[in-house]
Amino acid sequence: MKNILILGAGLSASTMIRHLLEKGLEKQWTITLADISLEAAQLKTKGFSNGKAMLFDIADEKGLAAMVAESDLVISMLPARFHPVVAQQCLNLSKHMFTASYVSPEMKAMSAEAEAKNLLFFNECGVDPGIDHMSAMKVIDEIKAKGGKITGFESNTGGLIAPEYDNNPWNYKFTWNARNVILAGQAGARFLHNGKYKYIPFTRLYERIDRAKVLNYGEFDVYANRDSLSYREVYGLGDVQTLVRGTMRRPGYCEAWNCFVQLGITDDTYELENPEKLTYRTFIEAFLPEMPGLSVEDIFCKYLGIERGGVIFKKMEWLGIFENTPVKAGFKTPAQILQSIIEPKWVLGENDLDMIVMQHTFDYELNGKKFRRLSSMVVIGKNKIDTAMAITVGMPLAIAIELFLTGKMDGKGVQVPVKPQYYNPILEKLVPFGVEFIEEEVEL
């Protein structure tokens, strides 16, 4: 019997939790689901004799150590900043660890010790990062096996609302952690384009937009995502001329979001004075210059260079940012207050379905000819629990764990799924869940 500990019972973990509980009944696995909300953990283990819900706080070091000690494998679905804390306990107690998140410097530094202890710390096995790595490496390895040379690689992903439920002027709803959306892009972006290094600071990120078309799902705006340069080594693309990873949104979103960035109200580093006395209107006004004789709306438009009554302004009006609604108690930083204003407007409706869009572009040379291959995936959620986000974040991880515990996958140290021994079986088992890529190729 194997004991699996899952830390975090959030929405994106739902599909994975149920899958492991179901498989656990067949394989004699016990699943302990620990969360800061005992009710959430109880709800997701309800009806499973092999499931146990526990109250958990990451600040409780002794409690964490006790739970890790009783497990054979630990899955961290906590916010990324907590993974190293969990990983350290796994090292101390010689337990394997799996997560969907990026490998942080702190996690990477643990690789040698994990390898020495014959432990596998499997990371970046969600959607982005995760499915993007696996699907990209499958094509990269195929092209190289034919003798092709890859000259350019672009990879773009977006978590959006499915077209049938896209009914607000922003063409966006929260399909994952709202806070992460508010803070997105603050590290800026680094990438390679036509052999030149390119850098975009956060203050310009939402102005530098590309456009992409995905299958029959229309057009998307794309902004550069974090540090693309590090993936040259990960993907074995040392001599590639273009390497860019991006985030997808519907056209018009980035231009409007840039207004908040330019005002500085996505900042989460300081608290406002007397936030409990603010309204949405006075909150916005606090970030605008004084222009006697003009309304807040007019100052907003003049300062940001947008048209009163134009498309961007209508998006802002729809959010209600100019209304005299009191700011909710407990929100103190600019980013927190902005989130409190937007979240009720962008909430995923009871019957809404979300959508994950992913597209890779491979430029390569083979036998003296140049080619471009597009590899595109669209996954639509099934319901409010089995969202596209939950399926694509959780199922790669669930499948990897199943393969590992049944002896069909191995490894040690800190690993990501860029090797055939990892990506081939995981991608194959994802197909029944709607995770499948459609490829198009043209000669340039």
Q: Which of 200, 131, 219 is nearest to 434 (CA)?
A: 131
Strands of the sheet with 51-55, listed across from one edge:
51-55, 29-35, 2-7, 73-76, 96-99, 120-122, 413-415
**What average pLDDT is seen over the chain?**
96
Q: What does the block give as tokens for 97?
A: 């660890």
Alpha helices (runs of H) in 215-252, residue ranges in sequence order: 231-234
CB atoms within 10 A of CB 46: 10
- With a pLDDT cut of 90, the percent of the chain lying above it is 96
Closest among 357, 107, 98 to 249, alpha carbons compared: 357
Burial class (CB in 10 A: 0-12, 13-18, 19+), 90: buried
- Domain residue ranges of the chain, discontinuous segments joined by +: 2-123, 131-256+350-386+437-443, 276-342
In terms of C-beta density within 10 A (0-12 exposed, 13-18 middle, 19 or more buried), how is residue 190 classed? middle
User: Hey, what CATH topology would domain 131-256+350-386+437-443 get?
Assistant: Dihydrodipicolinate Reductase; domain 2 (3.30.360)
Query: Which residues have a Cβ under 8 Å from the Cβ of 408 and sit 6 or more positions away?
Result: 425
Q: What is the pLDDT of residues 401-439, one digit of tens each?
A: 999 999 999 999 999 999 999 999 999 999 999 999 999
Indicate the CATH number of 2-123 among 1.10.10.10, 3.40.50.360, 3.40.50.720, 2.40.30.170: 3.40.50.720
Q: Residue 335 burial by CB count (10 A; 0-12/13-18/19+): exposed, middle or buried?
A: buried
For the entire predicted model, the pTM comes to: 0.93
- Please tell me the predicted confidence (pLDDT) of residue 384: 86
Query: pLDDT tens-digit profile of 316-371?
Result: 999 999 999 999 999 999 999 999 999 999 999 999 999 999 999 999 999 999 99
pLDDT (tens digit, 0 to 9) for every residue of the chain, 444 residues total?
Answer: 899 999 999 888 999 999 999 999 999 999 999 999 999 999 999 999 999 999 999 999 999 999 999 999 999 999 889 999 999 999 999 999 999 999 999 999 999 999 999 999 999 999 999 999 999 999 999 999 999 999 999 999 999 999 999 999 999 999 888 999 999 999 999 999 999 999 999 999 999 999 999 999 999 999 999 999 999 999 999 999 999 999 999 999 999 999 999 999 999 999 999 999 999 999 999 999 999 999 999 999 999 999 999 999 999 999 999 999 999 999 999 999 999 999 999 999 999 999 999 999 999 999 999 999 999 999 999 998 899 999 999 999 999 999 999 999 999 999 999 999 999 999 999 999 999 999 999 999
Please give the pLDDT value at position 432.
95
